[in-house]
Amino acid sequence: MEQSIESYIKNLVRDVIGQSLGELQLQSDRQTYVIANWKMNKNLNETAEFFQKINSSQDVSVVICPPAQLLYPAHLLIKQSGKPIGLGGQNVHWADKGAYTGESSGSMLRDVGCEYVIIGHSERRQYSYEDDELVNKKVLHAIKSELTPIICIGETLGQKNALQTEQVLVKQLEGALKDIDSSHFILAYEPVWAIGTGQSATAELAQQIHAYIRSILKKIIGEKADGISILYGGSANEHNAADFSAMPDIDGVLVGGASLNAQSFDGIINVFAKGEQNS
Ligand code: PEP
């Protein structure tokens, strides 16, 4: 109870400060992120090898989201490396504690070194039947736990072909952000048809959709929408990263497959770091 009052006050203070700075917040102030979603991949040895090889950068926020079992070892490896890398979970439960076999709460993620958590990934929507209501409960819980949620939204191929992309995104956004009075979250636009297929969206299409997402976000949270980082996800790699990084509403990438290889992931980090140096 004491802890939830404390985090409520902390969030309130962060939001009041954020609000008063809001008017000064320009597009270029948005944080750029390169985030790895390892999904159900890698063991301890491979994790140690990855953190040894990865170079990282001071110019962009790099976050690695390993499977739950690798979070604490990854935390120790990051600390040991001294590299500026953040840690995130791939999922969180909505309750503080209790009889929820196999789940992890926000405070448990914090405890093992996480500052971020992916919520609403399309694979969880597909295989674990997570809907917008559940995504919203998890986002509320993550914010209360002082984790930054990385909220994933995106249409399926069927929805795209049926010209329902905008309506799907509005529903997912409104659903995920219901009763959220904080602007401490990251959005990831991940068209389901581009995830793991090798067929990324073109940077132009992604930019168009990101601008649309920001316009909807403005209706939901007002001017603070200008300060929210919107990442692209879906077959992003070291070869197409430069196209995405050149777009004004694309504030980084969420990377699956290409994040498993330290060299490829470094390539993506370098592209976005260069973009930041030039801006
Ligand atoms: C993802 O699953 O979040 C993702 C973007 O995967 P990939 O990069 O492999 O398409």
* pLDDT per residue as tens digits for the range 217-230: 999 999 999 999 99
Which pLDDT value is given to residue 187?
Answer: 98
Nearest CA to ligand 1 atom 8: 256
Which pLDDT value is given to residue 24?
Answer: 40
Secondary structure (DSSP) of 112-123: TT-SEEEES-HH
Which pLDDT value is given to residue 28?
Answer: 53
User: What pLDDT digit, counting tens, does each position of 50-97 carry?
Assistant: 999 999 889 999 999 999 999 999 999 999 999 999 999 999 999 999
Ligand 1 centroid to residue 38 C-alpha, Å = 9
**Is 121 marked active-site?**
yes
User: What pLDDT digit, counting tens, does each position of 3-17 carry?
Assistant: 344 434 444 444 443
Which pLDDT value is given to residue 226?
Answer: 96
Ligand 1 site, CB within 6 A: 37, 190, 195-196, 233-236, 254-258
Q: How confident is the model at residue 277 (pLDDT cuts 50, 70, 90)?
A: confident
Which pLDDT value is given to residue 10?
Answer: 40
Nearest CA to ligand 1 atom 2: 256
Catalytic residue among 75, 93, 121, 210: 121
pTM summary value: 0.90
Q: From CA 109, how far away is CA 145, in angstroms rounded? A: 9
**Is 276 marked active-site?**
no
Ligand 1 centroid to residue 66 C-alpha, Å = 13
Q: Which are the contacts of 37, defined by CB distance < 8 A and separation ≥ 6?
A: 65, 90, 118, 121, 233, 254, 255, 256, 259
